[in-house]
Amino acid sequence: VDFVRVKQDQQLETKQRKPKKPPPPDEPPPDVPPQNFNVAVDSAGFNMSNVDLSVSVDVGGGGFGISDGEYLPIVKVQPQYPRRALSRGLAGYVIVEFTVTAQGTVKDPFVVENCGHIPNARSPADCVDKPNSVFDSAAVKAALKFKYKPKVIDGNPVETAGVQNKITFELAES
């Protein structure tokens, strides 16, 4: 059996559409006469010839300059819940300490305290997974992604060591 396909001539006709021009306005807008804003001020109550306007302001060295300030968190990333903790039904927290750099990034994070516990247990304060908490690495990874506005002293950003952040891991109630 031979199949023969006949080619059909197909030509698509495309219609060229051009946007319509808006009609010209019937009449031009009226000319607005310029307004004169002369304001008369009674100068009888204003005698400013003997006013001393010298002001002395010292903004350096005291740490109270306009741009000085403490570090402020800008971005705090939620940690990823560890699968091992999820499968064991653990909740808990990790306190991470780190240094906020002059660029606002986090460096040298380490775990200060941690606790993993089973929610709704008889004594939820008892940590069942304390020495090497399953939450430690997730908390440290999240802390490395934090962004801060660095502390500013005398107009210059400086590193701030000893910043602590408590990251809590809670199971969603089902």
DSSP label at 62?
A: S
**Amino acid, single-letter form, for residue 160:** T
133 inside domain: yes
7 inside domain: no
pLDDT confidence bin for 18, thresholds 50/70/90:
confident
State whether the Cα torsion 70-76-82-88 is positive or negative: positive
**Amino acid, single-letter form, for residue 35:** Q
pLDDT tens-digit map of 131-155: 567 889 999 999 999 999 999 998 8
30 inside domain: no
155 inside domain: yes
pLDDT surpasses 50 at 115: yes
Beta bridge partners of 107: 99
Find, among 101, 111, 110, the residue nearest to 150 by Cα: 101
Q: How many CA atoms lie within 13 A of 41 on its CB side?
A: 5
Show the domain range for 157.
72-169
158 inside domain: yes
Find, among 9, 146, 158, 164, the residue nearest to 69 by Cα: 158
In this prediction the pTM is 0.57
Determine the pLDDT at residue 99: 95
pLDDT surpasses 60 at 119: yes
Determine the pLDDT at residue 71: 87
| CA–CA dist 96, 109 (Å, integer) | 6
pLDDT tens-digit map of 39-80: 444 444 444 454 443 333 334 444 444 457 888 999 999 999
**Structural domain count, the chain:** 1
CATH number of the domain within which 105 lies: 3.30.2420.10
- Residue 164: strand, helix, or coil: strand
